[in-house]
A = this chain, B = another copy of it.
Amino acid sequence: MANAKWPKETWTRAAMHAIARGGISAVSVDALAAQLGATRGSFYWHFKDRDALLATAIAAWEETDTAQVEARLADIADAKRRMRTLFREIAFNEASDEVPGLEAAIFAQPDHPLIAPVLRRVTERRLQILAAGFKDLGLSPAKARRQAVLVYATYVGWLQLRRTAAHLVPEVAAEGRDARLAVDHLVDQLIPA
């Protein structure tokens, strides 16, 4: 258990990079084995099947994501600034993954059976953070919740438009003048003074 040639973690890291590169379908036991210089048989000593590897990789992402969002927002006392930060930093600077592109790849397949439950938990946590912020800004609990849903839906759609239509919709790009104007416009309209 301690002296494995290709410990479980090695397969998991390789899978995370494969997901970041080409999504779930890019995770091939055969390809990973070849890449590591191991055999497919070896893989099945550590994992029940391919899905178990995928679940482990996605769970690893969830843990680091939870920790990061918490850390980033806890610092900011002022509610309005916290909201702007959520959009500016998290939505626009492609959250600082330790595996670059992994979050984007996971958000790109929200309906995958292994991703959906994780995304539900992440969504609920973020909605609670947003709703708490809007309550701090003076909204009633019900209105704060509705506003949180509205803002989060916009965030989710914004990310999707960036992936699928960035050239077409310069407003949602990660940088540029159009994008900055659009974000200001968005923040002004979605976040009460």
Provide the bound-state CA to CA distance between A124 and B169, in Å.
8
CA of A172 to CA of B152, assembled, Å? 11
| In the complex, chain B residues whose CB is within 8 Å of the CB of A161 | 123, 149, 152-153, 156
Interface of A: prevailing SS: helix
Chain B residues with Cβ below 8 Å from A182 are 146, 149-150
Chain B residue nearest to A117 in the complex (CB): B164
Question: Chain B residue with minimal CB distance to A163?
Answer: B111
Contacts of A116 in B (CB 8 A): 164
B124 x A185 contact (CB < 8 A): no
Is B156 within 8 A of A123, CB to CB? no
Chain B residues near A189 (CB, 8 Å)?
A: 150, 189-190
Chain B residues with CB below 8 A from A172, complex form: 149, 153
Q: Considering the chains assembled together, what is the distance between the CA atoms of A153 and B189 in angstroms?
A: 14
Hey, what's the 0/1 contact readout for A122-162 against B, CB within 8 Å counting as 1?
01100100000000000000010111011011111110110
| Minimal Cβ-Cβ distance residue in B for A186 | B150
A141 to chain B, nearest CB (A): 13
> Complex formed: what's the CA distance from A37 to B95 in Å?
50
Q: Quick one: given A119-B165, A150-B185, A165-B123, are A160 and B156 in contact (CB under 8 Å)? A: yes
Please give, as numbers and ranges, the residues of chain B lying within 8 Å of A165 by CB-CB distance: 119-120, 123-124
Residues on A facing B (Cβ under 8 Å): 23, 25, 108-111, 116, 119-120, 123-124, 127, 143, 145-147, 149-150, 152-158, 160-161, 163-165, 168-169, 171-172, 181-182, 185-186, 189-190
Question: Can you list 11 contacts pairing A with B, beta carbon distance less than 8 Å?
Answer: A111-B164, A123-B165, A143-B185, A149-B171, A150-B185, A150-B186, A152-B161, A153-B158, A153-B161, A153-B172, A157-B157
